Structure 1
């Protein structure tokens, strides 16, 4: 048996939370959403640390550049902000065409930053001077998620029509695409063996990496799967959903190991949609529409 035990409830946000990011060390993380600021939390003491920066619009994506000690923000306004964590300084304000930015990734092998969102166009900047290098259209509709393959040679995008697009990072040319979901793709994540995709259709797909063919498909939740997050060292995949539940799955078998929700009798569970989650070591951090960040400790026979 494995278990998730609630260890902290962190409160302070006044509106729904959409994004979480690990911090520069294991005792720090960041949260943002429909409030007017990005919050830094002290995980070791379970308390608010500071407002990292004020923002003019909702934040839908957070991405940490560990080596540069920078946090990148994807905003509803279509801007991408680059913030120096130590100096609490806005390093760059990167502009896109129109529409919200939903996902940000960095390709360290090429020293590039990629952002994509509502207009379906990917924007690529240099990581040294944050100059726009190029942009390319992935889809004629919104793209809510992307994931970088191990080694940094390929990247996948998931669009509103349920299509997954695989690109070669060397020239950003499309390798293949496949309609996987009947509704929008809402999360993509890669481990050493498979690509996992979750969607508004409540399905979780386990896909072969390079031809996007399906290895396994399960009805993971009752509603939208907002995130699938593999544990860094253990064969465990956590998923969270609009249905207010947290589930742990074995990988690669996708056998269900744990289900936490108020409907299943867990009074510690979230009361509203869970929008985002991250692993920090053996702790799972979850947050969503109830404005509460919950920190769960993983234990048991793994």
Structure 2
């Protein structure tokens, strides 16, 4: 595999914690510690647009697929719904004083992972809180949805991954997953595997159909794994780490293919917090504490 760094997007004044796809393949959004939400164009690197500004850090962004509104999880304030075309707030919901670490959608519901251990279920129309799922006193850090099995996977700071029924919200499985906080969870594109990772620098692969039995346990990085993501074709898995590197894995065998770092590829010089595969020429984005977003071409 050949990895080429083709662009760097700069302009944020603090670490970048969130990346999200835009309404078009060449567009994406970023946000972080400076409270700024910026829309970028992969075919126009000079065309960054500030579309929203909130007073505190943003850890979660999610573009609602039907309304086209961007959900912005503000630290300690709740969620803001932004029209990215008009660059204006449409509505907001102060559902918590906790930090919002992740947002995922399923049908007419939004699921929000909160730092007080709650997963808030919010109706998207009308915008009202339907349910508080409280299964831990420690932070709910990350979410993944399996529409095939109708399950919601939640990773927590108590080292556990819990699986809930997506419609009744009943607790189905408790996975003693890691030796420390779980920062990221993702279902494989065929929904047969759940991949989890976190502060202990391992990523683990769980067999969904066999009651989440452990298939693989890989010491993947030197320090915490902040995020992982599959490409759209489901052939590659990218992991982003506090050790400043991105690693590319074969999604069938979970074997390492490539290490992307500063020494070999002019990568980030501090923690890599988020990765995002785009449908624009299958480019991979990475966001870092160094306040930049790198654009990678893999061939």
TM-score range, shorter chain: over 0.9
What is the aligned partner in structure 2 of residue 255 from structure 1? 255
Asked if the contact 1:98–1:118 (Cα under 8 Å) also holds between the matched residues in 2, the reply is no
1:46 aligns with 2:45: yes
Measure the CA separation in 1 of the matches of 2:72 and 2:135. 21
The CA deviation at 1:126 is 1.3
What is the aligned partner in structure 1 of residue 276 from structure 2? 278
List gaps (5 residues or longer) in structure 2. Answer: none
Aligned residue runs from structure 1 range 202-213, under 5 A: 202-210=201-209, 211-213=211-213
What is the aligned partner in structure 2 of residue 156 from structure 1? 153
Q: How many residues align?
A: 294
- TM-score between the two structures when normalised by the length of structure 1: 0.94
Measure the CA separation in 1 of the matches of 2:46 and 2:134. 42
Distance 1:267 1:4, change over 3 A: closer
What is the aligned partner in structure 1 of residue 297 from structure 2? 297
Measure the CA separation in 2 of the matches of 1:150 and 1:107. 8
Alpha-carbon deviations, 1:176-231, whole Å to 9, x = none?
11111010000000011210001100000001125222100000100111111101
Measure the CA separation in 1 of the matches of 2:234 and 2:176. 30
What is the aligned partner in structure 2 of residue 6 from structure 1? 5
Asked if the contact 1:274–1:286 (Cα under 8 Å) also holds between the matched residues in 2, the reply is yes
Measure the CA separation in 2 of the matches of 1:147 and 1:92. 25
Distance 1:90 1:151, change over 3 A: farther
Aligned residue runs from structure 1 range 211-250, under 5 A: 211-250=211-250
List gaps (5 residues or longer) in structure 1. Answer: none
The CA deviation at 1:76 is 1.2
Asked if the contact 2:95–2:129 (Cα under 8 Å) also holds between the matched residues in 1, the reply is no
The runs of 4+ residues in structure 1 deviating greater than 6 Å are none
The CA deviation at 1:269 is 0.9
Alpha-carbon deviations, 1:44-90, whole Å to 9, x = none?
12223311111111000011112211111112114111112222221
What is the aligned partner in structure 2 of residue 124 from structure 1? 121
The CA deviation at 1:96 is 2.5
The CA deviation at 1:161 is 1.3
Asked if the contact 1:107–1:152 (Cα under 8 Å) also holds between the matched residues in 2, the reply is no
Asked if the contact 1:177–1:212 (Cα under 8 Å) also holds between the matched residues in 2, the reply is no
Asked if the contact 1:16–1:34 (Cα under 8 Å) also holds between the matched residues in 2, the reply is yes
Aligned residue runs from structure 1 range 64-143, under 5 A: 64-108=63-107, 111-143=108-140
Asked if the contact 1:154–1:167 (Cα under 8 Å) also holds between the matched residues in 2, the reply is yes
1:185 aligns with 2:182: yes
- TM-score between the two structures when normalised by the length of structure 2: 0.95
What is the aligned partner in structure 2 of residue 268 from structure 1? 266
Q: CA RMSD for the aligned pairs?
A: 1.3
